[in-house]
Amino acid sequence: MQIDPALQSKADNYKLLTNLVIPRPIAWITSQSAGGVINLAPFSFFNAVGADPVYLIFSVGNNERGQAKDTANNILASGEFVVNMVTEELFDAMNISAADFPAEVSELAAAGLKPAPSARIKVPRVAEAQVSLECTLFSTQQLGANTLFIGEVVMFHVADHLLGPRLHINNFAPIGRLGSPSVYCRTTDRFDIARITYAEWESGQSPETSPRR
């Protein structure tokens, strides 16, 4: 079946996109208002896009009133934010933080979480998160009703138990977003396959190419 997005509603296009482009990592963003209120909200239009410098992107849509969300307003004003990664023990808190709290109420406090100071920026991170990425705003781009934020990572915070030799990350299992509106996945079922080189392909002597659990 072919489905022309130009002939579908915005809601149907969102449903199709978010159910087909999966799994998506979740950026659990802390930002801070000029009055000092710590905002915490999850976004699954998110990924890493560069390593030199270290860049990541996430996209923020408007709220139900068609206005910019608190996260967008805070980052545009301060130029800073933190991406906290959501592991399974933090799912309930993340789900609470997705609610439409008023701007003067901190989702961090509402979810029973604590702030931890960042090293390079003023915006705090989530103390309970195993991984947090401090970011400064590099640029934005308006994409219809969404604002694309490009941030430069200026500090990694990684729990000690995740770090192995040569910065190898062990047993880190953030949850991912699947179908809209409320389907998620675990990332504990994995397989490891070496990449094939052109020379191996040409010779027919390729490494194992089927997933092994």
Q: Which CATH superfamily is domain 5-203 in?
A: Electron Transport, Fmn-binding Protein; Chain A (2.30.110.10)
- Residue 204's pLDDT band (boundaries 50, 70, 90)? confident
Assess whether pLDDT exceeds 60 at residue 205: yes
The pLDDT tens digits for 176-189 are: 999 877 899 999 99
pLDDT at 210 over 80: no
Six token digits for residue 63 = 């709220």
pLDDT in tens, 97-110: 999 999 999 999 99
The answer, as to whether pTM is greater than 0.85, is: yes
Which pLDDT belongs to residue 213? 53
What pLDDT, on the 0 to 100 scale, is given for residue 73? 96
pLDDT at 206: 63
pLDDT tens for 105-154 read 999 999 999 999 999 999 999 999 999 999 999 999 999 999 999 999 99
* Predicted local confidence at residue 181, as pLDDT: 78
- For residue 46, the model assigns a pLDDT of 98
CB half-sphere exposure, 187, CA atoms < 13 A: 18
For the stretch 41-45, contacts whose Cβ atoms lie closer than 8 Å and that sit 24 or more positions apart, written own/partner, are 41/69, 41/70, 41/71, 41/97, 41/98, 41/107, 42/86, 42/94, 42/97, 42/98, 43/71, 44/18, 44/177, 45/146
**DSSP bridge partners of 46:** 58
Q: What does the pLDDT look like over 32-80, one tens digit per residue?
A: 999 999 999 999 999 999 999 999 999 999 888 878 899 999 999 999 9
Residue boundaries of the structural domains of the chain: 5-203
